[in-house]
Amino acid sequence: MKLDDLDDQLVPRLAARLRAFLDGLSDRRRAFGGRLRAVADGPLRRLDDRYASSGPLALVREVPQLGLLVIAAVFVSGTGVALIRSDDQQRAERAQQQLDTASPTSLGAPLGTDITTYIARSRSRLVTLAETKPDTEYTALVSFRAYLTPERVRITLGALDIPQVVVRAKLAATVAPAEVVPIPVTNLVMDVRAFTRALAVRKATEAKEFRGLAASIAGTSPEEQQFKVFYRAAAAAAQQEARVYTGPCACVIGALVRGTARDLAELPAVATVRSVEVGGRTVDEGIELTPLLPEQSGVVAKPTLPIGRK
């Protein structure tokens, strides 16, 4: 209801009551004239002369209708504020409901994101959900501070359900960036170990193919030499990834988890957890996960390729 509508409804009623009150006032004064004069000449008269002899109170005393109009205005204003606050609360609840039922297509910090801001914003939403809906289950992307073994991930995340993890080989900074690979898991340790062994075989094959491509370039133009450098760098990175994945590597950098808001809110206190971004209430197997890299700081930037290095 709008304030104008409230004015149209309330002000005429108040004016009618005021008119009836004033019409009956003279009768009541005559009926109790003596008593009223005694009170008026006593202490109340002195208080009235002292505090209501000038200013707004004097005006209200001379024109009592103003007092009722002020009360009506305060009432109408208060009702309007209450309606506005109620409307704001309803909008906030609808927005939260949309977040709860939404199934995001990706979780993680996009390119250009300030990492400190991303972590703070993720933690703020997590705290809000833990306070308002502590027992509601959500999915969340957990980014780790270091490269972890699957056994360490299991200890870190406790009894939380883990439908997917993200692995990446930790390579020297002088080679091309390593690939970020998501792994669906049922049995965390067994599935990660089996997948990384297969990944080691694939990376060894890729290294061989990149070396063959580099060797096939016989031209000396700047463009051809750039491609040659790129293929050599890619071959070196793939070879290092193959070595890392061959053994029981510490290579997990993030995990998609599922748990109640209360349980998820406890994760940022764990030393190995860097951030927790809450997603929707359903698990989407096709969701794109881009956890923070443990070595990343400042702004999320595109990995730089070693072009120009021979």
Kindly give the residue spans of alpha helices, DSSP state H, lying in the chain: 3-31, 33-41, 43-51, 55-62, 65-101, 115-132, 150-157, 188-216, 222-246, 261-264
Q: What was the pLDDT predicted at 116? A: 96
Helix, strand, or coil (residue 248): coil
In a domain, 297, yes or no: no
> Would you state the structure tokens that stand for residue 211, as one six-digit string?
């070396």
In a domain, 71, yes or no: yes
pLDDT in tens, 53-81: 555 555 545 555 555 555 555 555 555 54
Q: What was the pLDDT predicted at 292? A: 95
Burial of residue 269 (number of CB atoms within 10 Å: 0-12, 13-18, 19+): exposed
pLDDT in tens, 174-226: 677 899 999 999 999 999 999 999 999 999 999 999 999 999 998 889 899 89
145 shares a domain with 225: yes
> Would you state the structure tokens that stand for residue 167, as one six-digit string?
């692995």
Q: What was the pLDDT predicted at 40? A: 47
Range of the domain at 18: 3-97
19 shares a domain with 122: no
273 shares a domain with 137: yes
In a domain, 301, yes or no: no
Residues (pLDDT < 50) of the chain are: 32, 36, 39-40, 44, 47, 51-52, 60, 81, 92, 307-310
Which region holds residue 308: left if phi is over 0, alpha if psi is between -120 and 50, else beta?
left
242 shares a domain with 132: yes
119 shares a domain with 92: no
> Would you state the structure tokens that stand for residue 2, as one six-digit string?
């709008």
Q: What was the pLDDT predicted at 177? A: 86
Q: What was the pLDDT predicted at 34? A: 53
Q: What was the pLDDT predicted at 42? A: 53
In a domain, 14, yes or no: yes
Q: What was the pLDDT predicted at 103? A: 61
